[in-house]
Structure 1
Amino acid sequence: MSNIGWIGLGNMGNPMCKNLVKAGHEVTVWNRTKSKAKDVLAMGAAWETSPKAVAQKADYIFIMVSNGAILKKVVLGENGICDGLTEGKIVIDMSTVSPEESLPVNEAVKMKKCRFLRSPVTGSVVPAEKGLLGLLLSGDRTAFEEVEPVLDVLGKNKYWIGAKEEARVMKIALNTMVGNTTQLLAEAVTLAEKAGINVETCMEVISGSAVGNLIVQSKIDAINEGKYEPAFSVKMMLKDFDLALDAAKQYETSLPVTALTRQFYEETVASGRGDEDYAVLVKRLEENVGINR
């Protein structure tokens, strides 16, 4: 069993960390809000008072935080992970951040004669709970090979993508597909509803058709019930769309559909629904066309 450090116990980090504890690993955790660590501590994880202290204690340090600014703070800031690193340790960041935000973290870890692995994940809370996430991996290949048995606890599918920031870009690209697909779903649902088809029938047909992918399948209950508890919030999707548009500038490519759909997410935040699940785009469009249910 491995000696693991875990930084970040939000919606995704909490169930992922729990799976490592269940698997018998020695896990030490830190989170900005200690109350969010209650469940994992009850399962047997240990608490430390700073990312530095976690890094001093663990051989493999996992990070799962909500954005690049927090990533840089917990790694590079005072009492951050780098302050606690000693030679030979591995830092595995599973957050969704930009290549630009990732680069200084990689350089700082290397300066400590340690290795850095980028491993953003695909999937939401339920796959995280079941240990069925997809793991996108890039960085130090030897680090991946060493830590792979631990990663097996977290994810069903692992994809090695490259030696640098490729995993970051791939995750951002995937999230643009998720977000854009949801706008298409909203348009299909509202068109059917305006024609007199009830939403349950509409979702049954869509989910059973050629376009009934996992994104659609995962949102059936939320759309049928009109309740959008956040598995992944509108604000988080908007953040990822901004990362995508920044990456498009960096790599000189065009994302015209993403740029347009971003405005719908922005509108949803402005209407006070930024903390709801991103599938609330369906409700936004229903209201815009006069559907009240």
Structure 2
Amino acid sequence: MGKVTIGSAPDSWGIWYADDPRQTPWTRFLDEVAEAGYTKIELGPYGYLPSDPARLKDQLDQRGLEVTAGTTFEQLHRPDSWESTWREVSPVAELAAAMGAKHLVVMPSMWRGDGGEIVEPRLDHEGQAWHGRQVTELGRRIADEYGLRTQFHPHADGHVDTQDTVERFLAETDAAQVNLCLDTGHISYCGGDNLQLIRDYPDRIGYVHLKQVDPVVLAEVQAEGLGFDEAVKRGVMCEPPGGVPELPPVLEALSGLDADLFAIVEQDMFPCPPEVPLPIARRTLAYLHSHGGGVSV
């Protein structure tokens, strides 16, 4: 039996960018995430939290917080994209490693834009194979240079999003170099089955993001052909237990794996009023503790 340790992230405080006047200031985020009862967090967008390791470590220590991972995007499905991807990835990996994290969560770039427009064609099988080889190499280099495990995060409107593209990605990548950040909300948003992925790929689940999708809002945005950003503005990611997937069965399945996992709560709410996140964060943690078996903080 594995151990599932719950954490949170700046995303649950409405943080999508390093600097945006609509966002909660970083000191308030740190104060409130600790006040809500969490001890594990992610870095969020690079530059939102202090990027000086000594300063950030001091701020975290004051609040009893530890970093589990950094998060970043890649564009490795594109030819000649290695250097631009590495320039984005390396500072995030360096800071995460300096904070004692063991993971780097990497997300794909988008095929659909903010307004729902198609900005790139979907990858065919040849493109998926190329992408898988490139991400495998990225994972190898991240491990060699920073000692971090690469956990790949499927993303709505991204080049790895639906169940079939997730499964194809897993087939085209080397488990020794990259595994899956199972984001329950993005999988459900794209019509996938979280429990099936856990059952079929138990050794590839290396990290987890916990979130739920409001099926009514999802149906509306899909009918209108809207992009993910607009869906979030409409509240497609909702507070548990108001959406799908049901989280208790997911947590039970995860705890049955032969692995210790971080499960980071993420409820996309950009933008949101500053007084909204803290009560939700408290209620969500209480819900997960009461319905998640042996989960811990």
TM over 0.5: no
Bigger radius of gyration among the two: 1
| TM-score, with length taken from structure 1 | 0.33
| TM-score, with length taken from structure 2 | 0.32
Q: Relative to total residues, which structure has the larger helix share, 1 or 2?
A: 1
